[in-house]
Structure 1
Amino acid sequence: MTPTDHKQVDALMEAYFEGLHQADSTMLRDVFHPQLAYVCATEGDELYLDLETYMTRVDGREPPARRGEPREEEILEIAFASDRMARVDAWMTMMGRDFYDLLTLVRYGAEWRIVTKVFSYVPKKD
């Protein structure tokens, strides 16, 4: 992939992490595809949501930033399968949990967007 693709995905991930930290659904709508599939794969807490339902949940949260939680995240891997499809594996901590995300990205017009967010979480390790 081109350096531009890498820069766009890096910028998308920065907005993703900041949007979650701020619980900012407006910012998150700019990174998610309108047909988002949101899947929690944590045993006992399986969940399948669409974009609008997920954004309603985000809007109802107290932002981790407001609670004074530091931003802690890492992109573990970015893999481009083609010029229209990529995958990002990421880790972040918030709300007392460590989250592991498998994000599938697709081209949406000229931009990359997250079309699937499949994740699992465990209690935060201190």
Structure 2
Amino acid sequence: MIADQYHAVSTLMDSYFDGLHHADSTVLRGVFHPRLAYVCATEGDELYLDLDTYMARVDKREPPAKRGEARDEAVLEIAFGNDRLAHVTARMSMMGRTYLDFLTLVRDGAEWRIVAKVFTYLSRKD
């Protein structure tokens, strides 16, 4: 069972990274829970958004893919609390920043969804 759950979460993370790289809110709405809590924990840039507000911001950004940015992303850890609760630590670089995401996932029926995205970032010097 844990192998199946791990595979399902890994597949969700592939969609998460694809959605961010292409700034595709349709794909991202498929990975986020409708009651998403989006929190930026970077000092001086703290931000708290709901799903619709976050997706409106995604829709306005120029996709990293369109700018020719190479993909640079990794799942650092997947941990399960039980068969309905998981935590993912992920890293990615885009838009001149390196992000560290702490994602809380819940399983709703057969589907995993990100219910909380708490992250920080550092500006890249490249």
| Cα deviation code 1:16-61 (max 9, x no counterpart) | 0010000000000000000000000000000000000000000000
| Counterpart code for 1:50 | D
Q: How does 1:30-49 map to 2 (within 5 A)?
A: 30-49=30-49
Residues matched between the structures, number: 126
Equivalent residue for 1:14?
A: 14
Shift of residue 4, structure 1, vs aligned partner: 1.1
Partner secondary structure for residue 30 of structure 1 = helix
1:45-94 per-position Cα deviation (integer Å, ceiling 9, x unaligned): 00000000000000000000000001100111100011100000010000
Matches within 5 A, 1:100-115: 100-115=100-115
Separation in structure 2 between the aligned mates of residue 112 and residue 31 of structure 1, nearest angstrom: 8
What is the Cα deviation at residue 125 of structure 1? 4.9
TM alignment of 1:72-91, pairs within 5 A = 72-91=72-91
Q: What TM-score, normalized to structure 2?
A: 0.97
2:71 matched to which residue of 1? Answer: 71
Cα RMSD for the two superposed structures: 0.9
In the TM superposition, structure 1's runs of 4+ consecutive aligned residues that sit over 4 Å from their partners are none
Q: Percent identity between the aligned chains?
A: 67
Point out where structure 1 has 5 or more consecutive residues left out of the alignment: none
Between the aligned partners of 1:80 and 1:124, the Cα distance in structure 2 is 32
State the secondary structure of the residue aligned to 1:69.
coil
The answer to whether residue 107 in structure 2 is matched with residue 94 in structure 1 is: no
- Give distance in 2, aligned partners of 1:62 and 1:39: 21
Look up the equivalent residue of 2:27 and give its one-letter code.
M
Point out where structure 2 has 5 or more consecutive residues left out of the alignment: none
